[in-house]
Every structure is written in C-alpha cells, then in structure tokens.
Structure 1
Amino acid sequence: MKTLFNNYINTFKGLSHEVWWLALITLINRAGTMVIPFLSLYLTENLDFTLKDVGWIMSAFGLGSVVGSWLGGRLTDKIGYYKVMVRSLISTGVLFIALQFLNTFASFCFGIFLVMLVADMFRPAMFVALSAYSKPENKTRSVTLIRLAINLGFSVGPAVGGIIITTLSYGGLFWVDGITCILATGLLIKVLHPKKARVLDTVKNENPSSAYHDKAFLIFLVSMVLFGIVFLQYFSTMPLYYKDIHRLTEFDIGILLGMNGFAIFLLEMPLIKWLESTNFTKSGLMIFGTILLGISILVLNLTSWTGVLIIGMLFMSLGEMITFPFSNAFALDRAKKGNQGEYMALYSIAFSIAHIFAHNAGMHMVDDLGFNNTWYIFTMLAGFCVLLLFSLSRYLNTQKKKRLA
C-alpha cells in the first residue's frame, strides 16, 4: 500500500509551482459550479419550464460559451492571459449571484448567455497560462492536474449541492457559486501576479500560421464537437433520466455525479502517466476514450437495474479521463504553429458549440422519442466521432510520411 501511495505521489513530481496555483484556483472555482448539474432540474421544478424551454435555455448557455471563448482568445492575444482571467472570474461571480433573480423564459435565456460569455473568457486564457508555466515534457500532466482540480471540484460540488437543495433551496447554489468565483479571483491576484511569473516555455510565435488553415486541427475540432455533444448529456438529460426513470433524489444524483469526479481524482494522473510511457498516439487514445463514452450510453438500454447507472458512469469516467487530457495536449501541440490564444479559443469553442446543440437536442429527443431511443441515437453519434478520429489519425500518418520522404 505504501509503494502504491508513493507511486501515486511521484506522478505529480516535476510540475511548476505556478501550475499548482492554477490548479488550486481552478479547484476553488469549480467547487462552486454546483448549479450546472442541477440546472435542468431547477428550471423544470422551480420555474416550471417545459423540457423544450430548457433545451432552448441550454442553447443560450452554449451560445454564450462560444462567444465568450472566442472573445477570451482574442483578448488573451491582445492584453494577456492574466488580465482576462482576473476580469472573467470576478465578473462571473457577480453574475451567478444575480442569475437566481431571473424567472421568465426570455430573461433567463439572456442571463445564462451573459454568464457563460463572461465565464468562458477564462478558459483560453487559462490554457495559455498553463502552457506558459509548463515545461514541454510536462504539458500533458499539467493539463491532467488542472483536470484533476476541475473534477475534484465537480465531485465535491454536486454532493454539496444536493445537500444545499435538500436543507435550504436552489437559491443557495447561486450564492455559493458566485462567492467561490470571487474567492478564486482573490487567490489569483495574490499568488499569480505577472511580476511573479516566470515563463517556462515559449508561447510566442514570430510567424504564426492561422488555425483556420490547419486541416488536421479542423478535423480534430469537429470530432471534439461530436464528443462534447454526447458527453454533455450527463449534465442535462441524464439527471432527468436518473430522477424520472430510476427515481433518484437530488442527493442521490449529486452523489452519483460526484463519484465521477472522485474516480478521476484517484485514477487519472497515474493512468495518464502510464499512457504517456506507451507507444499509443494521442489520436489513438482519443479514439479509445470515445468508444468508452459510447458504451457508457449504450449500457443504459440493456437493463432496468439501477446499478447500471454506476456502470455507465464508470465507463464515461474512463473515457473522459483518456480523451480530455490527450485532446487538450494535442491542441497545445498544434498551437505552437500559431497564436496560442486563437488555437485554444477554437478548442474551447468546440465544446461551446457542443453546448448549443447537446442540451437542446437531448431535451427535444427525450420529449419526442423517449430516453431509450435518445440513448441509441447518441451511441451512434459517438460511433461517428470514432470514425472521424480514425480519419484524423490516418491524415496525421500521411503527413508524417510526407515529411520523412
């Protein structure tokens, strides 16, 4: 047991102090995002919106994310990642607190659009900061550490969120989310001021190429949109499935979603360190992770036994653990060809686009076709994503052979 623990600790060695601070700031911020997993329940139960209303609201959520990611990338290349991160975090905190006071369909659509626009300006800036503070050989593990912080926050957040809903109300979630964003801003200002920064890897390309002309990157982005559409069902339609079909309470749902974050907290870093030591390519690992995600959706239709929810969650967690760190590392590697803000903004936008379509499509499918048919459709979509990633892998191999010829 001691050897196992020491090996686990060793997977974290070599990462810079700045990356650790970024991880802690992310943890504080993400621990407060307990509103998001319960948003569909809040909108249907507290505000009496229909499933189709919720779908359109979640599309506004995704649209705000697209605009915010694009704007964040532009501003990062112009004024620097630090200013973007600070302004995004503190503004998000204020806006989340204000969101609870909106109770009409139109006002909530606008409110969630504005919240996500401001909140997702943070993501491309954070990725560029992460690249700046990471040694080249540690980038995948640095990304994994940030994801570890995100998932630890998500594991604590839903569990605490379920308790807050049970003991207080949904309104308490908005207050906690806003306050944690403000606390994260304070920590960022204190520990990561630019004067204290020491760039460990060059982030400026004097002759940048456009990400829009990078064919491999564009194929990759489309595949990430498809992956995101399937993955995001776990944060909109899936909680409704847990509640309506398997009769889970909000507390039970919070624990189940929290299990995902806890599994990632325990397993992702050792898994990534081991996979980095193998001969698998990043595209090959993304293919495997996507297959696992598809299986996690498919198994829900195989039995009515409630325990299958845990099995599905474990398959999804493994797929997420593999796909996200290596897709992020792939994007960072390609970003060396041009402006990093532009590349990382497009990477963030891929998932923002997924937000636009995932929740809306999922809600409409559930309402019109039922849960079982919806899960079959999303399983097929995961299969199409696998085929696209195969084409990316073949294209990269062809390009490599041309360079060596």
Structure 2
Amino acid sequence: MKTLITNYLNTFKGLSTEVWWLSLITLINRAGTMVIPFLSLYLRESLNFSYNQVGWVMSAFGIGSVIGSWMGGKLTDKIGYYKVMVFSLISTGLLFIALQFLTTFKSFCFGIFLVMLVADSFRPAMFVALSAYSKPENKTRSVTLIRLAINLGFSAGPAIGGLIITTLSYGGLFWVDGITCIAATWVLINVLNPKKTKTLDDVKTNNPKSAYADKAFLIFLLAMVLFGIVFLQYFSTMPLYYKDIHKLSELDIGIILGMNGFLIFVFEMPLIKWLENSTFTKTGLMLFGAILTGLSFLILNFTSWSGILIIGMLLMTFGEMIAFPFSNAFAMDRAKKGNQGEYMALYSIAFSVSHIFGHNAGMRLIDQLGFDNTWYIITLLAALCVFLIFILSRYLNAKKKLKQI
C-alpha cells in the first residue's frame, strides 16, 4: 500500500509551484460557483419563473459563456493573461453578489448573461497561464491537475450550497459565491503576480497566425463540439434514464454519478503520466477516448440488466479521462503557432456551444424518440467525432510528410 501511494504521489512530481497555485485558485473559484447547480430551483421557487422563462435564462447563461470566452481570448492576447484573470475573478464576485437583487425576468436574463460574460473570460486566460507556467513535457499533466481541482470544486460546491440554502437562504449562496471569487482574486494577486513568478514556456509569437485560418484546429474544434454534446448527456438525459427506465433511487443515481468523480480523482493522473510516456499520439488518444465514450451509450441498448449502467459509466469515465487532457494539450500546442488567447478561447467556446445545444437536444430526442433511439443517435454523433479526429490525424501526418520532403 505504501508503494502504491508513493507511486501515485510521484505522478504529481515535476509540476511547477505556479501550476499548483493556479490549481488552488481554480478549486476556490469552482467550489464557489455553487449558485449554478441550484439556479433552476431558485428561479422556480424563489422568483416563481415559468419553465419557459427558466429555459430562456439558461439560454442567456450559455450565450454569455460563449461571448465571454471569445472576449477573454481577445483580451488575453492584448493585455495578458494575468490582468484578465484578476479582472474576471473580482468582477464575477461582485456581480454574483448583485445578482440576488434582480427579481424580474428581463433583469435576471441580463444579469446572468453579464455574470457569465465576465466569469468565462477567465478560462482562456487561465489556459494561457497554464501553458506559460508548464514545461512542454508537463503540459498534459498540468491540465490534468487543473481538471482534478475543477472536479473537486464541483463536488464540494453543491454539497456546501445545499447546506447554505438549509441554514441561511438562497441569498446566502450569492454572498458566498461572490466572496469566494474575491478570495480567489486575493490568492491570485499574492502568488501569481508576474513580478514574483517566472514562466517556463515562452508565450510570445513573432508572426502569430489566426486560429480561424488553422484548418487542423477547425476540424479539431468541430470534433470537440460533438464530443461535448455526447459527454454532457451523462449530466442531463442519463439521470432520467436511470430513474425512469431502471427505476433507480436518487441515492443510487448519486452513487453512480459520484463514481465518475472518484475514479477521476484516483486514476486520472497516474493514467495520464503513463500515457505521456507511451508512443501514442495526442490525436490517437483523443480518438480512443471518443470511442470509449460512444461505446458507453451503445451498450445500454444490449440488455435491460441494471449492471450495464456501471459498465457504461466506467467506459465514459475512462474515455473522458483520456480525451479531455490530451485535447486540451493539443489545443495549447496549436496555440503556440498564433494568438494563444484566441486559440484557447475557441477551445472553451466549443464546449460552451455543446452546453447550449447538448442538453436541449438530448431532452427533445428522448421526448420524441425514446431512450433507445436517443442512445443510437448519440452513438452516431460519437462515431462522427471519431471520424473527424481520424481525418485530423491523417491531415497532420500528410503535412508532416510534406515538410520532410
């Protein structure tokens, strides 16, 4: 057991102090976004919004996320990642506190749009900072550490949020959300000030290329949108499948979903460390991760045995653990060729687009076609994602051969 623990801890070695601080800031920030899981409940119970109005609020949420990611990328390229992160965190904190005072439908739509516009400008800047503070050979593991922080934050946030609602009120959520963002800003200013830190990878590009002219990157982004739509079904339509078809209780559903976070926490870093030292390419690993995720849906139609749900969750989790870190590392590698903020903004936007369409499309499909047919369609989308990654791999290999001639 001691050897196992030592080997596990060794997978975290070699990461810079700045990456660890960035992970702590991300953990504080993500744990603080506890309003989000309870947003629909708050809108229904406290503000008495209709389901249609709640839907429009969530659309405003998604649109704000897309524009915020794009804006964050532009600002990062113009003024630098540090200033963008500081502005985003402290402004998000103040806006979260103010959001509780908006009680009409139109004002709340505008408010949540503004919050996400500012909040998600943080993501491209954070990715560029992560690239700057990571040695080239450690970038994928640095991304994995950030993912661990995000997963821990999302796990702790709803639990703390439920406690706050019970002991205080929904209003308490907005205050705590705001204060945690401001606290993350304080940590950022004190530990990641450019005057006190050193970068390990140059983020300057003499002749930057536009991400919009990078054909390989555009193929990659389309594949990531599809992967995001497929992946997000596990957090929207899949719980309904567990409940309505397999008659699982809320506790059983929570355990299966919780297994995802636990497996990521225990296995992702050792798995990524091993894969980094292998001969597999990033595109090959992304392709394999997409295959595993697609299979997790396909197998559900083979049997009515409820144990298949656990097998499906295992396939999806390992698919996620492989696809996300290496896709992120791929995006950071491509970003070295051009405007890093623009590249990382588009990468973030790909998943924001998945959020806008994925949940709604999944719900409509199960309503009109049923679960079995929905899983076939989702599997087909995963297959299309795999095909695009395969095309991407062939395209990159062809360009590499041309350079060698």
TM-score w.r.t. structure 2 length? 0.90
The residue that corresponds to 2:137 in the other structure is: 137
3-state SS in 2 of match to 1:196: coil
Is the contact between residue 160 and residue 254 of structure 1 (CA under 8 Å) also seen in structure 2? no
The residue that corresponds to 1:127 in the other structure is: 127
Deviation of the 1:130 alpha carbon: 0.8
CA distance in 1, matches of 2:40, 2:307: 23
Deviation of the 1:363 alpha carbon: 3.2
The residue that corresponds to 2:23 in the other structure is: 23
Is the contact between residue 158 and residue 254 of structure 1 (CA under 8 Å) also seen in structure 2? no
Deviation of the 1:118 alpha carbon: 1.0
The residue that corresponds to 1:362 in the other structure is: 362
The residue that corresponds to 2:279 in the other structure is: 279
Deviation of the 1:179 alpha carbon: 2.9
Which amino acid is the alignment partner of residue 196 of structure 2? K
Q: Relative to 1, partners in 2 of residues 1:130 and 1:361: Cα closer, same or farther, differing over 3 Å? A: same
Is the contact between residue 96 and residue 178 of structure 1 (CA under 8 Å) also seen in structure 2? yes
3-state SS in 2 of match to 1:204: coil
The residue that corresponds to 1:392 in the other structure is: 392
Deviation of the 1:392 alpha carbon: 0.7
Deviation of the 1:48 alpha carbon: 6.4
Which amino acid is the alignment partner of residue 315 of structure 1? L
Deviation string, structure 1 residues 316-369 (Cα, Å, up to 9, x no partner)? 221111111100110111111111111111111111221221123233334444
CA distance in 1, matches of 2:9, 2:90: 33
Deviation of the 1:11 alpha carbon: 0.9
3-state SS in 2 of match to 1:6: helix
The residue that corresponds to 1:260 in the other structure is: 260
CA distance in 1, matches of 2:300, 2:168: 32
Deviation string, structure 1 residues 148-202 (Cα, Å, up to 9, x no partner)? 1111222323444455566766555444433322221121122111211211111
3-state SS in 1 of match to 2:177: helix
Deviation of the 1:232 alpha carbon: 2.1
CA distance in 2, matches of 1:69, 1:218: 17
| Structure 1 segments unaligned to the other structure (5+ residues) | none
> Could you say what the CA RMSD is over the residues aligned between the two structures, in angstroms?
2.7
The residue that corresponds to 2:346 in the other structure is: 346
CA distance in 2, matches of 1:11, 1:101: 46
Deviation string, structure 1 residues 285-332 (Cα, Å, up to 9, x no partner)? 111111222233334445555554444333222111111110011011
Matched ranges for 1:166-315 at <5 A? 172-242=172-242, 246=247, 248-249=249-250, 256-302=256-302, 307-315=307-315
3-state SS in 1 of match to 2:225: helix
Matched ranges for 1:12-161 at <5 A? 12-40=12-40, 54-102=54-102, 105-161=105-161
Which amino acid is the alignment partner of residue 116 of structure 1? M
CA distance in 1, matches of 2:296, 2:54: 24
3-state SS in 1 of match to 2:205: coil
CA distance in 2, matches of 1:321, 1:10: 19
3-state SS in 1 of match to 2:204: coil
Deviation of the 1:143 alpha carbon: 1.1
Q: Relative to 1, partners in 2 of residues 1:61 and 1:350: Cα closer, same or farther, differing over 3 Å? A: same
Which amino acid is the alignment partner of residue 74 of structure 2? R
Q: Relative to 1, partners in 2 of residues 1:171 and 1:222: Cα closer, same or farther, differing over 3 Å? A: same
Larger deviation: 227-236 or 297-306?
Answer: 297-306
Aligned residues: 404
Deviation string, structure 1 residues 245-280 (Cα, Å, up to 9, x no partner)? 54643x765554443222211111100010111111
Q: Relative to 1, partners in 2 of residues 1:102 and 1:259: Cα closer, same or farther, differing over 3 Å? A: farther
3-state SS in 2 of match to 1:153: helix
Is the contact between residue 72 and residue 125 of structure 1 (CA under 8 Å) also seen in structure 2? yes
CA distance in 2, matches of 1:158, 1:299: 30
CA distance in 1, matches of 2:173, 2:49: 19
CA distance in 2, matches of 1:289, 1:362: 21
CA distance in 1, matches of 2:45, 2:296: 27
Which amino acid is the alignment partner of residue 294 of structure 1? G
Percent identity, aligned pairs only? 78
| Structure 2 segments unaligned to the other structure (5+ residues) | none
CA distance in 1, matches of 2:198, 2:316: 37
Is the contact between residue 31 and residue 152 of structure 1 (CA under 8 Å) also seen in structure 2? yes
Larger deviation: 7-16 or 95-104?
Answer: 95-104
1:377 matched to 2:377: yes
CA distance in 2, matches of 1:292, 1:236: 19
Deviation of the 1:20 alpha carbon: 0.6
CA distance in 1, matches of 2:110, 2:175: 19
Is the contact between residue 58 and residue 359 of structure 1 (CA under 8 Å) also seen in structure 2? no
3-state SS in 2 of match to 1:25: helix
Q: Relative to 1, partners in 2 of residues 1:50 and 1:381: Cα closer, same or farther, differing over 3 Å? A: farther
Q: Relative to 1, partners in 2 of residues 1:111 and 1:206: Cα closer, same or farther, differing over 3 Å? A: same
TM-score w.r.t. structure 1 length? 0.90
3-state SS in 2 of match to 1:194: coil
Q: Relative to 1, partners in 2 of residues 1:321 and 1:122: Cα closer, same or farther, differing over 3 Å? A: same
3-state SS in 1 of match to 2:268: helix
CA distance in 1, matches of 2:254, 2:158: 4
Task: Point out which structure has higher relative CO (alpha carbons under 8 A, 6+ apart).
Answer: 1
Is the contact between residue 11 and residue 273 of structure 1 (CA under 8 Å) also seen in structure 2? yes
CA distance in 1, matches of 2:269, 2:319: 14
Q: Relative to 1, partners in 2 of residues 1:217 and 1:322: Cα closer, same or farther, differing over 3 Å? A: same
3-state SS in 2 of match to 1:195: coil
Larger deviation: 228-237 or 13-22?
Answer: 228-237
CA distance in 1, matches of 2:238, 2:286: 23
Deviation string, structure 1 residues 185-231 (Cα, Å, up to 9, x no partner)? 12112211121121111100111111111110110011111111122
